[in-house]
């Protein structure tokens, strides 16, 4: 009988890829959606890439206790991926922070109550990369973004507080090894549906010519398939219990991303901007553009991240980012999104 894995947020970009890979590996997947209206869309996306015979869809809300115990019951593992993410600045930061923290708390408590072997939580590189550091610092899993740091947005705060809550709960209950955390950077890659996901939107905007110039915003990209594989390996690897794993490459500028797209997808590059945005103008634009505003600390900044633990967990190197950029662009075209 196949082991069952609860995947929260299965309708999202990362959750969908994790669920699809689990199904391909023979696991039974119990995927959660907030709205039952998305169940058909999720099943269709899974059926297109894997056998969905072992797929079950349940309804869970990050802000409600209802259904969590039943969803985790009988599962051997839990993948908690669901978390709120909005590109527009929320009027109230708690619109992001409360569901992130409460959802993680509910997922951890339900998983431990059900006696699962391990719960894997999708955090973010944002919980690492705003740690105070000198130039050329190599960021590792021991680095933490301090909540008291000035200028943190609601999204970064929500991810730090949610991950801290996960560690606090498991440590209080003597179950630290039952938790593994994945901290991905900007997640891109082929789409499973017409929902491009947050980071893929940056590539979509470049191809669509949404900005007159390309900002020197440097992001630590990662292939969504590496993210999915890492979640599954963290679920089963004995050494992954009680660890955080950074999944990120050294940042590539959106200017570099555009160059890859122009070289490899010339047939769809006509609308792409050809000029780089000066750093000073990028800062001005960040006042009005949500994605630039939320990442303004990364404008013109080159950071370095320790990929050793991720590659050890995967048992292979991370995928090539230029190839992932190309595949992302082609996927956007195939889905009619550019």
Active-site hit among 89, 91, 159, 271? 159
Catalytic site includes residue 159: yes
DSSP 227-263: HHHHHHHHHH-GGGTT-EEEE-PSPEEHHHHHHHHHH
> CA gyration radius for the chain?
19
Nearest partner of 139 among 13, 298, 247, judged by Cα: 247
- Which helix (H) or strand (E) is 182 found in, with range? strand 179-184
Is the distance from CB of 259 to CB of 239 less than 8 angstroms? Answer: no
| Cβ–Cβ < 8 Å for 6, 30 | yes
- CA proximity to 106, closest of 161, 157, 69: 69
Residue 212, helix vs strand vs coil: coil
Active site residues: 159
């Amino acid at each position: 009988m196949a082991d069952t894995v609860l995947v929260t947020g299965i309708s999202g970009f990362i959750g969908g890829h994790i669920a699809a890979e689990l199904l391909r590996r023979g696991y039974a997947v119990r995927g959660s959606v907030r709205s039952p209206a998305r169940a058909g869309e999720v099943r269709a996306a899974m059926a297109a890439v894997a056998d969905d015979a072992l797929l079950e869809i349940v309804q869970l809300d990050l802000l409600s206790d209802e259904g969590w115990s039943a969803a985790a019951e009988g599962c051997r593992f839990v993948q908690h991926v669901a978390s709120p993410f909005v590109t527009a600045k929320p009027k109230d930061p708690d619109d992001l922070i409360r569901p992130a923290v409460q959802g993680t708390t509910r997922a951890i408590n339900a998983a431990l109550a059900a006696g699962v072997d391990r719960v894997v939580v999708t955090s973010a590189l944002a919980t690492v990369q705003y740690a105070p550091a000198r130039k050329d610092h190599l960021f590792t899993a021991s680095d933490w973004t301090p909540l008291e740091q000035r200028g943190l947005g609601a999204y970064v705060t929500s991810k730090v507080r949610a991950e801290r809550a996960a560690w606090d709960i498991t440590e209080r209950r003597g179950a630290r090894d039952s938790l593994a955390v994945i901290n991905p950077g900007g997640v891109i890659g082929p789409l499973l549906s017409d929902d491009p996901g947050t980071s893929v939107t940056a590539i979509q905007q470049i191809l669509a010519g949404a900005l007159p110039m390309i900002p020197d915003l440097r992001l630590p990209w990662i292939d969504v398939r590496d993210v999915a594989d890492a979640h599954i390996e963290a679920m089963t690897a004995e050494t992954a219990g009680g660890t955080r794993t950074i999944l990120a490459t050294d940042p590539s500028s959106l200017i570099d991303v555009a160059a890859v797209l122009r070289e490899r997808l010339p047939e769809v590059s006509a609308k792409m901007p050809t000029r780089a945005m000066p750093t000073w103008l990028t800062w001005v634009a960040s006042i009005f553009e949500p994605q630039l505003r939320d990442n303004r600390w990364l404008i013109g900044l080159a950071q370095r991240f320790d990929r050793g633990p991720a590659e050890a967990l995967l048992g292979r190197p991370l995928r090539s980012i230029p190839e992932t950029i190309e595949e992302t662009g082609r996927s956007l075209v195939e889905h009619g999104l550019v």
